[in-house]
Amino acid sequence: MARKVTLIAGDGVGPEVTGAAVRVINAAGGEIEWEPAVAGSGAIEKHGSPLPESTLESIQRNGVGLKGPVTTAVGTGFPSVNVALRKKLDLYANLRPVKNLPGVETHFDDVDLIVVRENTEDLYSGVEHVVAPGVTESVKIITKAASSRIARFAFEYAVRRQRKKVTAVHKANIMKISDGLFLEACRHVAQEFSTVQYQEIIVDNLAMQLVLNPKQFDILVLTNLYGDIISDLCAGLVGGLGLVPGANFGDNCAVFEAVHGSAPDIAGKNIANPLAVIFSGLLMLRYLGLDSVADRIRAAVRRVALCRENLTPDVGGSSTTTQLTESIIQALN
């Protein structure tokens, strides 16, 4: 029986790249019944809200969503839809696997990192205000409960996937109380997992170490803001935002989406790289137990990437989103 999945096309390049992912998944025989739902600027026009209740209900009902990027206004306007969605559905764990794609040349050739980002608190609390004219304050919230929960997610993932090491990322030398609590929670959880090595690193040092020698890391576990920044850095290690998938997990549902944003600079030009959303779709297929469909798609993408002819401009090619999508579909057969 076909599995129902909520499909949110999103803003900017969202409809182009999610459309590509849906085409590829359908062509590979993934039996998915897509239930369209809206979020982002399109939703404001129709529903008066960038995140309508009907969209949240659809994800809750289906338990699974595939989502395109949604524009977040800088400085003004509605609060971030992504942040609201993660908080409302308690999608506390953000997983971003970062791996080289053979055929896409980068400075490093065997990056294989897993970024595990806490999704519900930190400076994303949304609690900020003007204290006095010219003086502002933004509140960083770190709790023992959320820190332990994300640390446990990282270690359990390590055990399940036979990964060797979890590195907790912090700035507890400066934020001794908040990042200190995060570290304390990670250390505590680490004791339960004797087969997984545990280490800690200060976030600025991590940034440097990643661009010098990313292979020294395996799984990184980070609070929300460090996770956001470091996952974009990691995307750069393997060729950019057009290649890195993401998944948001809660206890009752999961939403799969690319790391990248709505990329307004290239929207509507048919040149966005659909691979990040296609790879997010693979994570989704595996979550649904459709591993053989995911394997087929991954093999097809590898074949296409290796011959380099049909890649998009962001990774050195000159093909369109449509051409790349069609070549992947052809390579499935």
- Known catalytic residues are 124, 171, 204, 228
Distance of CA 276 to CAs 48, 68, 73, 235, 279, Å? 29, 10, 22, 10, 5
The nearest distance, CB 13 to ligand ATP, in angstroms, is: 6
Q: Rounded CA gap, 132 and 201, in Å?
A: 36
User: Between 147 and 273, whose beta carbon lies closer to ligand ATP?
Assistant: 273
CA distance 155 to 125: 25
According to the binding rule CB under 6 A, does residue 120 interact with ligand ATP?
A: no
- Position with the least CB separation from ligand ATP: 261
Residue closer to ligand ATP, measured from CB, 223 or 273:
273
Query: How many chain residues are in contact with ligand ATP, going by CB under 6 A?
Result: 16
Q: Which is nearer to ligand ATP, 56 or 266 (CB)?
A: 266
Report CA-CA distances (Å) from 320 to 15, 153, 235, 259, 310: 14, 38, 21, 20, 8
Q: In angstroms, give the least distance from the CB of 263 to ligand ATP.
A: 4
Measured from the CB of residue 305, what is the shortest distance to ligand ATP in angstroms? 14
179 versus 257: smaller Cβ distance to ligand ATP:
257
SS3 66: strand
Q: Which of residues 197-226 bind ligand ATP (CB under 6 A)?
A: none
Among 18, 167, 231, 273, binds ligand ATP (CB under 6 A): 273
Nearer to ligand ATP, 196 or 297 (CB): 297
Q: Which of 248, 235, 237 is nearest to 275 (CA)?
A: 235
The string over 200-221, giving b where at least 16 C-beta atoms fall within 10 Å of a residue's C-beta and e elsewhere, is bbebeebbeebeeebeebbbbb
**Minimum CB distance to ligand ATP, residue 273 (Å):** 3
Under rule CB under 6 A, which residues in 232-271 are in contact with ligand ATP?
Answer: 241-242, 260-263, 265-266
DSSP 214: G
Residues 62-101 that bind ligand ATP (CB under 6 A): 69, 72
Smallest distance from the beta carbon of 163 to ligand ATP, in angstroms?
A: 26
Q: How far is the CB of 229 from ligand ATP (least distance, A)?
A: 10
Closer CB to ligand ATP, 98 or 276, in the complex: 276
β-pair partners for 170:
202
Binding mask 24-53 for ligand ATP (x = CB under 6 A): ------------------------------
* Smallest distance from ligand ATP to CB 232, Å: 6
Considering only CA atoms, which of 128, 130, 51 is closest in space to residue 91? 51
> Is residue 272 close enough to count as binding ligand ATP by CB under 6 A?
yes
- Whose Cβ is closer to ligand ATP: residue 29's or residue 264's? 264
What's the CA gap between 119 and 116, in Å, rounded?
A: 9
Crossing angle of the two packed helices 275-287 and 291-307, in degrees rounded to 10:
160
**Considering only residues 290-319, where is the footprint of ligand ATP by CB under 6 A?**
314
Q: How far is CA 219 from the centre of its chain?
A: 14
CA distances from 53 to 49, 92, 137, 261 (A): 9, 19, 31, 22
10 interacts with ligand ATP by CB under 6 A? no
Task: Return the closest-CA partner of residue 22 out of 213, 247, 276, 281.
Answer: 281
Site residues, ligand ATP (CB under 6 A): 13, 17, 69, 72, 241-242, 260-263, 265-266, 272-273, 276, 314
